[in-house]
């Protein structure tokens, strides 16, 4: 018994240790960081909308303005394969590894280890003061800590490390870098031979950034093989720069992000709201319940065919429980949640992944039921903005917009959407437009259109609840943030 217990303990420890890392397949293999079609997986840090584009399966960087884009996630130990070619004589660019996720005010490039990519003519265009040219080996394939990051160079040129052999090809020709990054050590292979490296990097986990530095450059075949992690604490991990200690954000929350939600399956959602949102190109979430005896009155509430039509138009159908009453015992809660899912399944509507607490009454004891059923967010009330790095995603605050505060109604809306800044998302809760059975929670159609026009004219991005998962890791947030 004693030995068995020991073996079990060992197995448990091993499982705990390897739990945080597992290769994508049985054996290590490369996966793509660039899909050849779009910029999925990349976050623009401080360049322009059109700095990065995709052409003929290549990633094209215009070179303007100077800045970087980064991977969505951080990498610690890995092998990076990247191919590049400069299109202009003397062009400058590079790839950063173990980099920070943001660039400090007043600078253009992040703190990280830069692996230089210079076109060979660079030396001819950058004569020294005494008229001599810098040696060619200086200027391509250099590896160095940028932005104050400390490293020890293998082949020093000051604090930088230079390649011991010039292996790069000039403009228009493809070069291949293999960058091996393990535990603060970097080794660089240029076109098939290791010629440079650094060690003892002060930061050994961070983002991978591609650099735009004045000249057009093309990239292709950007692949990464992730290796097991080492002992890397917060002091040797790059900052995310998102003010997000729990690493909940996948990318920064942009200003002017508004989520529209519509409760209770009112008829006007299908006849008025959906088509109008479509006209404006907005997203939205419709929270379905059959809570009143008059749900069967189809002059008041949507049919499931109409609900399906909203799904067909690309809107989100969310779960507001079958009968809208709480609190409930777990069996009843499960039954009412499953009933809406079943209706969706029967009507070929996408399975709901966000939930809406009836009367904004959050039942934290039901959280395991919702997570187990695959829900990512649940909308609450509170009449304040949602702060994703603070607020639990199963009680996302929302502003109720209705006519019950008739005199101030407009102010409630405008005050709310003005708070969509500084990492906050504004979630708005509407009922019917108008709401025939419960007019006090409804909104006048003309006023509703005024609101949408305001959002459009002021360039808000108007999305559904489920769309927030592009910016937020709700599973991590639900685990790490207080209820």
Q: Are the C-beta atoms of residues 117 and 98 closer than 8 Å to each other? A: no
Minimum Å gap between C-beta 321 and Zn ion is 9
CB of 320 to Zn ion, least distance (A): 6
Q: Would you say 241 or 439 has its CB closer to Zn ion? A: 439
Number of Cβ within 10 Å of residue 305's Cβ equals 10
Angle at the Cα of 473 (from 368 to 255), degrees rounded to 5? 130
Q: Which is nearer to Zn ion, 264 or 402 (CB)?
A: 264
* Closer to Zn ion by Cβ: residue 262 or 448: 262
Alpha carbons 45 and 108: distance in angstroms, whole number: 10
Instruction: Give every CB contact of residue 52 below 8 A, 6+ residues apart in sequence.
Output: 39, 42, 44, 59, 60, 61, 62, 69, 210, 212
For the bound state, the minimum distance from the C-beta of residue 430 to Zn ion, rounded and expressed in Å, comes to 11
Q: Which is nearer to Zn ion, 142 or 263 (CB)?
A: 263
In the complex with Zn ion, the residue whose CB is nearer, 211 or 437, is 437
Q: How many CA atoms lie within 13 A of 39 on its CB side?
A: 19
Q: HEC states along 402-460?
A: CCCCHHHHHHHHHHHHCCCCCCCEEEEEECCCCCCCCHHHCCCHHHHHHHHHHHHHCCC
- Is the distance from CB of 115 to CB of 141 less than 8 angstroms? yes
**Cβ of residue 376: shortest distance to Zn ion, in angstroms?**
19
Instruction: Tell which residue, 55, 25, 63, 13, has the closest CA to residue 38.
Output: 55
Smallest distance from the beta carbon of 483 to Zn ion, in angstroms?
A: 21
CB 269, min distance to Zn ion, A: 12
C-alpha count within 13 angstroms, C-beta hemisphere, residue 307: 31
Nearest CB to Zn ion, comparing residues 54 and 323: 323
Binding site for Zn ion (CB under 5 A): 263-264
Minimum CB separation of residue 116 from Zn ion in Å reads 58
Least Å distance between CB 356 and Zn ion? 7
Question: Minimal distance in Å, beta carbon 329 to Zn ion?
Answer: 20
Of residues 154 and 264, the one with the C-beta less far from Zn ion: 264
Residue nearest to Zn ion (CB): 263
30 vs 325, which CB is nearer to Zn ion? 325
Is the peptide bond preceding residue 385 cis, with omega within 30 degrees of 0? no
Closest contact distance (angstroms) between CB of 354 and Zn ion is 14
- Closer residue to Zn ion, CB minimum distance, 170 or 326: 326
Name which of 263 and 435 has its Cβ closer to Zn ion.
263
> How far apart (Å, rounded) are the C-alpha atoms in residues 45 and 52?
12
DSSP string, 136-148: HHHHSS-EEEETT
Among candidate residues 56, 66, 36, the one with its CA nearest the CA of residue 209: 66
> C-alpha angle 20/98/198, rounded to 5°?
115
């Amino acid at each position: 018994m004693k030995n068995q217990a020991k073996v079990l303990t060992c197995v448990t420890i091993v499982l705990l240790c390897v739990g945080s890392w597992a290769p994508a397949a049985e054996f290590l293999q490369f996966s793509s960081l660039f899909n050849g079609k779009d910029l999925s997986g990349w976050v623009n840090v401080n360049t322009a909308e059109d700095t990065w584009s995709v052409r003929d399966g290549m990633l094209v960087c215009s070179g303007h303005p100077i800045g970087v884009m980064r991977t969505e996630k951080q990498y610690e130990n890995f092998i990076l394969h990247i191919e590049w070619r400069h299109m202009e004589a003397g062009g400058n660019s590079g790839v950063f590894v173990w980099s920070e996720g943001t660039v400090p005010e007043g600078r253009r490039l992040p703190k990280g280890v830069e692996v230089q990519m210079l076109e060979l003519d660079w030396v001819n265009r950058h004569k020294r003061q005494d008229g001599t040219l810098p040696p060619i080996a200086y200027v391509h394939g250099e590896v160095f800590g940028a932005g104050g990051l400390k490293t020890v160079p293998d082949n020093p040129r000051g604090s930088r490390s230079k390649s011991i052999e010039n292996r790069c090809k000039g403009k228009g020709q493809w070069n291949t870098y293999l960058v091996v990054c393990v535990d603060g050590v970097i080794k660089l292979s240029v076109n098939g031979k290791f010629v440079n490296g650094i060690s003892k990097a002060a930061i050994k986990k961070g983002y991978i950034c591609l650099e735009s530095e004045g000249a057009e450059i093309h990239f292709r075949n950007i692949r990464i093989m992730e290796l097991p992690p080492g002992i890397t604490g917060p002091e040797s991990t790059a900052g995310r720069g998102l003010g997000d200690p729990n690493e909940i954000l996948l990318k920064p929350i942009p200003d002017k992000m508004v989520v529209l939600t519509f409760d209770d399956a009112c008829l006007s959602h299908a006849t008025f709201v959906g088509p109008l949102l479509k006209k404006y190109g907005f997203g939205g979430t419709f929270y379905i319940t059959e809570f009143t005896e008059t749900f069967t009155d189809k002059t008041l509430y949507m049919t499931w065919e109409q609900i399906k039509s909203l799904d067909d138009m690309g809107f989100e159908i969310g779960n507001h429980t079958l009968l809208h009453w709480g609190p409930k015992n777990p069996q009843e809660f499960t039954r009412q949640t499953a009933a809406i899912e079943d209706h969706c399944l029967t009507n070929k509507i996408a399975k709901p992944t966000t939930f809406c607490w009836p009367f904004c009454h959050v039942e934290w004891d039901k959280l395991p039921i919702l997570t187990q059923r695959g829900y990512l967010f649940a909308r609450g009330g509170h009449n304040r903005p949602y702060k994703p790095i603070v607020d639990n995603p199963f009680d996302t605050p929302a502003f109720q917009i209705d006519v019950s505060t008739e005199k101030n109604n407009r102010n409630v809306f405008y005050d709310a959407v003005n708070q969509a800044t500084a990492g906050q998302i504004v979630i708005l809760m509407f009922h019917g437009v108008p709401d025939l059975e419960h007019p006090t929670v409804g909104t006048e159609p003309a006023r509703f259109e005024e609101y949408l026009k305001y959002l459009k004219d002021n360039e808000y991005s108007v999305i559904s609840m489920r769309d927030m998962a592009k910016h937020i890791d709700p599973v991590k947030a639900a685990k790490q943030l207080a209820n």
